[in-house]
Amino acid sequence: MLIHSNKFPGLPFKPRNVLHSISMLSSLTIPSPTSHTRPESVVDETVHRTSTLIEQPNWERNRHLKSLVSHMTPQAAFKVIALQSSNIELGVQFFKWLMGALDNLRKIGFRLNYPCYSVLLACLAKLNMGLSSFSVYRRMVDDGFALGVIDYQTVINALCKNGFVQAAEMFFSRVLKLGFLLDTHICTSLVLGNCRVGDLNEAFLVFEKMSKEDGCGANSVTYSVLIHGLCEDGRLDEAFWLKEEMNEKGCHPSTHTYTVLIKALCDVGSTDKAFGLLDEMVKKGCKPNIHTYTVLMDRLCREGRIEEANGMFRKMLDDGLVPATVTYNALINGYCKEGKVVSAFELLGVMERSNCKPNIRTFNELIQGLCKVNKPHKAMELLRRIVDTGLFPNEVTYNILVDGFSKAGQLDMAFRVFNSMNSLGLEPDGFTYTALIDGLGKEGRPEQAHGILGLMVKKGIFPDEVTFTALIDGYCKTGKTANAFMLFERMVKNRCLTTPHAFNSCLDVLSKENKVNEQNTMFGMMLKYGLIPSVVTYTILIDGLCRAGDTIHSLNVLDLMKQANCLPNVNFSNGYASNRHTAMN
């Protein structure tokens, strides 16, 4: 038996007063090789439904949830937690809920056996839940189990994944006292932990000890961990040098190693180099996996190269790989950003027919796509579909809708969506308030926008540069320049200027009022703050100078623009030609 009773040896466990007939008893059992197991599709459906339920308010008291987990294996339970990768806090809450059930079992004399504890440890480590794994370790010790080396390795690895390096080292000292030897697995975990906390010097010290003649030896995983740490720190040249050393030492780069480097190149915009590395990877017989393809497809979509991303998608299918939800999401996002919403929904159909369940991010991308093409009401219809599929909309969903209706000038609907958030237990954040402020400003209602700013501050949310810029723009559009400049001075005082947008709004006012000297002073202030003028900045400056009849200085600004490699756009060309013609006449 997997559960042992101290009070009723040999008797089946049937009391009905602990967690719905002690339904968690079966949730913590491991089927033996000869036992009947449920089909994977049934397990996945249970996991999906459980995950959906715990995303709803007051899920702990949901009777249906208790019924669902009554026959859930440990692996299935931790699949539920894995689905909450974007909400770690909820995953931990669900785990504690499960452990609470175990506490009830312990009170009446029941405890888990060693194999079940080992599964718990392994699952927690896989999900990067270091403190929880240490908690399970303590329970094992309290229950009198003698742990094996693999259990100690698992706990150390779990702690290191969360960056609890000192705790892992203390635990490691205990392992040595018990007579276990230093091995590559434990040292690689310590390298990982130091990389996670950004202490690459310490990570390399551990690596050097491993590489000595009397050391345990670094393997491909160790090198990959260090390469990933260097990439995270922006030290790509050193990462590639380490890859070459890896080859020299006989540790061939794995698919994971190449994928880490490819992602690093994509993150800094070196897409061509990333594809060059993909070619090298394939030539060396290292097959790209789903993650490799997804990273490259995501980068292509971000660059607007959706057809090339589609080509990679087909290549992935030809290689026999099954796309994951994140892969579909990357393509759907690419289509939506290009305004090709119909194609995005067609891809959603392909996804569903392939039995790949869309998640809330999938629908958020589609909602944003509909809002981008000015169809927020269609997005609201999609919201109903989300609920029907058992998913629970999150703050991002509602933020997109508030922003979509605000940009469409449908502020009544924007406020209706905003007001519905609290009733669903969702808290508006800075993005939500900023979207409303921007919408009110564009509709010529800056006073109401300022009221929203006050509400935002009252809620303890500090306005950022985007918020202030939206309000400044609203004041400028209604001619209330004194208020705009007062806010601008506040931004300067708080040193929250990182882009030229707020400057552009104020420059535009000065330009239209023919205040050339003040305009030049503000431009000088922008340069003093180290901000790079955009094409909009130059367009406003030249427009103001042309209005004042100062064609010579407008040409000087044009030369400055060329020196800065700032290419003119259509609006600039048309405006410059028109204003220069006016000035000359």
pLDDT in tens, 78-121: 677 767 665 666 766 777 676 666 666 566 565 667 777 777 77
Region at 285 (left for phi over 0; alpha for psi -120 to 50; beta for the rest): left
| Residue 30, pLDDT score | 32
- List pLDDT tens digits, range 383-442: 888 888 778 888 999 999 999 999 999 999 999 999 999 888 889 999 999 999 999 999
pLDDT over 90, % of the chain: 40
Cβ partners under 8 Å of residue 37, min gap 6: 31
CA distance 257 to 237: 15
CA distance 442 to 472: 11
| Residue 570, pLDDT score | 52
- List pLDDT tens digits, range 344-357: 999 999 999 998 88
Q: Are 174 and 164 in contact (CB under 8 A)?
A: no
DSSP 237-259: HHHHHHHHHHHHTT----HHHHH
pLDDT over 70, % of the chain: 83
Distances (CA, A) of 188 to 149, 156, 224, 257, 411: 15, 10, 10, 15, 55
DSSP 476-525: HHTT-HHHHHHHHHHHHHHT---SSHHHHHHHHHHHHTT-HHHHHHHHHH
What's the distance, CA 505 to chain centroid?
32
Distances (CA, A) of 174 to 156, 207, 420: 11, 21, 53
**Hey, what amino acid is at 480?**
K
- Comparing 344 with 582, the larger pLDDT belongs to 344
Q: What pTM was estimated for this model as a whole?
A: 0.74
User: Which pair of tokens denotes residue 284?
Assistant: 């060396």
- List pLDDT tens digits, range 327-349: 999 999 999 999 999 999 999 99
Write down the mean pLDDT value for the chain.
81
